[in-house]
Amino acid sequence: MTDHQHGYIHRKDDYLRRLRRIEGQARGLQRMVEEEQYCIDILTQVAAMTKALQAVSIGLVEEHLSHCVVDAARAGGEEADAKISEAVDAISRLVRS
Amino acid sequence: MTDHQHGYIHRKDDYLRRLRRIEGQARGLQRMVEEEQYCIDILTQVAAMTKALQAVSIGLVEEHLSHCVVDAARAGGEEADAKISEAVDAISRLVRS
Amino acid sequence: MTDHQHGYIHRKDDYLRRLRRIEGQARGLQRMVEEEQYCIDILTQVAAMTKALQAVSIGLVEEHLSHCVVDAARAGGEEADAKISEAVDAISRLVRS
Amino acid sequence: MTDHQHGYIHRKDDYLRRLRRIEGQARGLQRMVEEEQYCIDILTQVAAMTKALQAVSIGLVEEHLSHCVVDAARAGGEEADAKISEAVDAISRLVRS
């Protein structure tokens, strides 16, 4: 059951590796500011980091729809409606961010 | 069946009204350029129009998940997987756009 | 002077042509909803239209910085600061939208 | 001169503090995945982190325009054009990311 709830678990190591790389990008940005590097180069890194985060979020949306939402849809009823509505809210925050 | 496929249909008039307003915004932008209005005012209108389009797309994602994806999930099998993967691709295009 | 204020003017026809195409995309979307086409195809069109709008806005930012902001920077003083701050607000609305 | 090139330098501590907080968010996300927390809660954190990164990038754009681009505009010539075009490319990457 827990397995179904959290679809990303079977790719946990992949997500942890990507998030560690993103953490490294945040540290790299601090080094760039510390060393007073050129703003445009810093902005280029910020855009790369934002793209990496988006890729993580799209992966999580996929796992969530494939597992949690599909399970809820099969179970049906109010639970299914609540899950869909919760997923749409999360997607909406991503689209707007 | 068609009803389930295209969840937005029961709110068709609402979508048509919003899209007509967006079409009006596109015409308004042409008038602003024609009248050589200030770039910043034009940019403000472009941002408002982009937000209106995003709201339409989030509404369509919601209808699609609530109807088409839920139906596919209940049907199960490869069809369900294909529908999820198609929806994720569409969401990914929205998040990246 | 007006010429400098509104840098896009020397490419007015290009902007009008792009905005007419965007207006056409808004009408195309209404037709798709009217004909009850598939949500995912509609979402693909919305993403294309959003990208076209972004391209217009980036073009306008470029013209604005190249003309209006450069002129204000040369004039200097509070006017320059006000123009930069106004441009940053507009860019911020685009990045967040 | 270096001072003018890198406008963010006079707020270096502020940027370092914000980037450390973003690094902390990246570590927090790893902990959430490690502890197998709910995808939607993870997605909410990803959206918050993306917003924090956007705020940093808009701040950097502002400093860059206020200092580097204004200086180049005053110096004039090809250097000014090159700086504007470089800034627009960076802004364009942010708007599209």
Which residue in chain A has the smallest CA separation from C47?
A: A95
Asked if D26's CB is within 8 angstroms of A22's CB, the reply is yes
The residue segments making up the domain with residue D74 are 10-96
| Alpha carbon distance C32, D21 (integer Å) | 45
| Shortest CA gap D34–chain C (Å) | 30
pLDDT digits (tens, 9 = 90+) for C64-84: 998 888 888 888 888 888 988
The whole-angstrom separation of Cα A40 and Cα D63 is 11
Q: C58 in a domain, yes or no?
A: yes
Residue A43 domain-assigned (yes or no): yes
Mean pLDDT of C41-67: 93
Q: Do D38 and A5 touch (CB under 8 A)?
A: yes
A91 within a domain of the structure (yes/no): yes
Note whether residue D4 is domain-resident: no
Contacts of C97 in chain A (CB under 8 A): 96
Q: Which residues of D touch C62 (CB under 8 A)?
A: 84-85, 88
Q: Is B2 domain-assigned?
A: no
How far off is chain D from C67, nearest CA to CA, in Å?
A: 10
Candidates A57, A66, A88; nearest CB to B65: A88
In a domain, D34, yes or no: yes
CA distance C84 to D69: 10
For D6: left if phi > 0, alpha if psi spans -120 to 50, otherwise beta; the answer is beta
Q: How far is A60 from chain D (nearest CA, A)?
A: 7
Residues D87, C91 contacting (CB under 8 angstroms): no
Distance CA A44, CA C52 (A): 22
By C-alpha distance, the chain C residue nearest B15 is C33
For residue C56, pLDDT beyond 70: yes
Asked if the structure places residue C2 within a domain, the reply is no
What is the least distance, in Å, from the CA of B81 to any CA of chain C?
15
For residue D29, list chain A residues with Cβ-Cβ distance below 8 A.
Answer: 19, 22
Query: What is the pLDDT at residue D71?
Result: 87
Count of pairs with CB atoms under 8 A, one residue in A, one in C: 3
CATH number at residue A70: 1.20.58.1000
CB C6 within 8 A of CB B38: yes
The pTM of the full predicted model, rounded to 2 decimals, is 0.86
* Domains identified in chain A, total number: 1
In this structure, of A14-23, A55-64, B67-76, C52-61, the range with the lowest mean pLDDT score is B67-76
Is A63 contained in some domain? Answer: yes
Say whether pLDDT at D2 is over 50.
no
* Interface contact flag, A73 B74, Cβ < 8 Å: yes
Average pLDDT over residues D57-84: 89
* Rounded-to-integer distance, Cα D22 and Cα D45, Å: 11
